[in-house]
Structure 1
């Protein structure tokens, strides 16, 4: 398919009111084509919490107009002559939250050379609201077509549907990466705070990685049944038990928090950790900083850390595990034409647990 045969169009946020269901369908100019690029005809795009933060300029000023969406799956329709990997026209491929870094451009930084492109010290380029190394602006997957450097284009394994693969490309990898890095596996007791779009992936991947015990943690008891169906062995509802921190003290080796709020009971969460335990924050609050539960950390030589998505190789590893272990996210498919309503419903917390926009191809 020649580039002239298709047009880049998508849902554009023009100002911070876009998150209220005011995105406008418009055409846009993708990054200037390079022979290392791939053009993708978008079939599916997951709706991520990051989309909402960005549409409303919650993490800082957004460079409007902005087309969000960084859980993109579709079909490769144009592949540059210098594209890396074995991507061919017609392949089912995806792009996650990052689509460029300094790799191959400035003489790899240590992070890119180690396959940790998400921590690139020179240029971690987001799949939307970013600037590519060649100066082009990045536009996301609430669209008909997407252009990305091939290094960040991932082939989707046959064992995963496109609708299920899409939310794994940000939501899934955001929790898989810290679970993998901090040794989730046999012998580990793992807690996942927040049973939502990220948290439901956390429970499933902790089980898929072989954790001995997986605990869902949320304020209310209304998600207990879902957490257990997802594979959790038990559940803690912090609002329902005034003694929750005491009753479950030193019961976990690793906690991954997916909650984007600064109002979390950090001292209580830290009390759940056993000796040498680790608390990892992946949710990024708009409303301020988290407190450091110093005493609880000191007394158990515990660690407090963070984690940012995953590089292309780690995404491939995650998808292979998902295909092998039959990790199946809980999704609702919604037509791309209804993206504005879907964003409003996502903001209202109605998703159980991930919305995926689909184009009628």
Structure 2
């Protein structure tokens, strides 16, 4: 590692693949000057970055118009190459960055004081978000050669987890781990997982490791049945078969919905929920959802959301993954093929997470 100087270079330039206004989801090569590195920040040379459905929704403007070039990507893995004097990481550390890159930098707010920094009013998400720390600037994500973040939002990766695998933990992993922890999934839980993709295949593995009484994989097709069982499912429901849905009535205590399809039949999902159960929305559909209210009232069923996890959750999750051998199934693609890879994610082709890999990273922590 040669880049250990503490002096700031005002001409520093980072290059990535940005979503642009009216770009129809096609990413373009784009460069920017990062904010000056401060005492508690680090600069990361990116080796890998996972592609999440959120990146596709954003880039294709499904969540609203893009007003400026913006680099997506929030499942970031790389090596620290510069650090501020007070940064908690050292040059050479292998770290990961997820969906948040900053929260309270001065007096903690109510939520940071509770250790739930993901709800902080001063929180900055990883890309295309204004920093609220008084220094100005807009965050840029991990579809790039480098990124700068506050050190406390970069997490040291255990040596047992490879870099391509590690990327998916920082969104798909924590997004599914947190609700299972929060709602105490365990030996008395009949768990359902809707959608067996990047998030769903992680949820099945967490559930198996947590010893859930029953783990039900729910999908509209049979093509992932065998793999779902290997990931940890004990039962599989194909929602295109109405008899299977009827047979599953009131049988699920806790259900994670990882599928953002506009074609989701919420009444069918709710019909499978047991009394006093929770249906947790993890994916964000581009259109409003609708359902019959009696499903909720008659069975005391709750539809709730779950927003990421806090810093302690992420550290705990990584330790849990090592202990229980939970790993995402990933397909590596060169960063230069990001547009083709994003098209495949949009089409639902990955089995199960595509991770972009920078040139020269192939021999590092594979």
Q: Does the alignment pair 1:175 with 2:181?
A: no
- Residues 136-173 of structure 1: CA distance to partner in whole angstroms, max 9, x if unpaired? 11111111111111121111111111110101101111
2:12, 2:33 within 8 Å by CA — same for their partners in 1? Answer: no
1:257 paired with 2:263, answer: no
Find out whether 1:58 has 2:39 as its counterpart.
Answer: no
Q: Deviations over 1:201-246 (max 9, x none)?
A: 111111122212111001111211121121111100010x222332
The count of residues paired between Structure 1 and Structure 2 equals 352
Greater CA drift, 221-230 or 257-266: 257-266
Change (3 A) 1:168 1:63: farther
Structure 1 position 41 matched with structure 2 position 45: yes
Contact persistence 1:118–1:311 (CA under 8 A): yes
Q: Per the alignment, in what secondary structure is the counterpart of residue 264 of structure 1?
A: coil
Paired with 2:35 and 2:194, the residues of 1 have a C-alpha distance of 38
Query: Match for residue 20 of structure 2?
Result: 14
* In structure 2, C-alpha distance between the alignment counterparts of 1:63 and 1:190, rounded to whole Å: 41
* Closer/same/farther in 2, CA of residues 39 and 196 from structure 1, 3 Å limit: same
Is the CA contact 1:16–1:55 (under 8 Å) kept in the aligned structure 2? no
Q: Which consecutive unaligned segments of at least 5 residues does structure 1 have?
A: none
Aligned 1:177-192 pairs, distance under 5 A:
177-192=178-193
Q: Partners in 1 of 2:148 and 2:35 — Cα distance?
A: 7
Quote the residue 1:229 is aligned against.
230
* Matched residue, 2:94: 92
Tell me the residue number matched to 1:214: 215
Instruction: Give the alignment of 1:25-36 within 5 angstroms.
Output: 25-36=29-40
> How far off its partner does 1:251 sit?
1.3
Give the conservation status (yes or no) of the 8 Å contact 1:31–1:138. no
Displacement, 1:113?
Answer: 1.5
Do the aligned partners of 2:280 and 2:303 also contact (CA within 8 Å) in 1? yes
How far apart are the structure 2 equivalents of 1:330 and 1:209? 19
The equivalent residue for 2:75 is 71
Answer whether contact 2:13 2:34 (CA < 8 A) is retained. no
- Gapped regions of structure 2 (runs ≥ 5): 361-366
2:299 aligns to what SS in structure 1? coil
1:26 Cα offset (Å): 2.4
Give the TM-score normalised by structure 2: 0.92
Deviation at 1:131, TM superposition (A): 1.1
Conserved 8 A contact 1:30-1:137: no
Paired residues of 2:209 and 2:324 also in contact (CA < 8 A): yes
With the length of structure 1 as denominator, give the TM-score of the two structures.
Answer: 0.93
SS in structure 2 at match of 1:243: helix
Q: How does 1:133-212 map to 2 (within 5 A)?
A: 133=132, 134-212=135-213
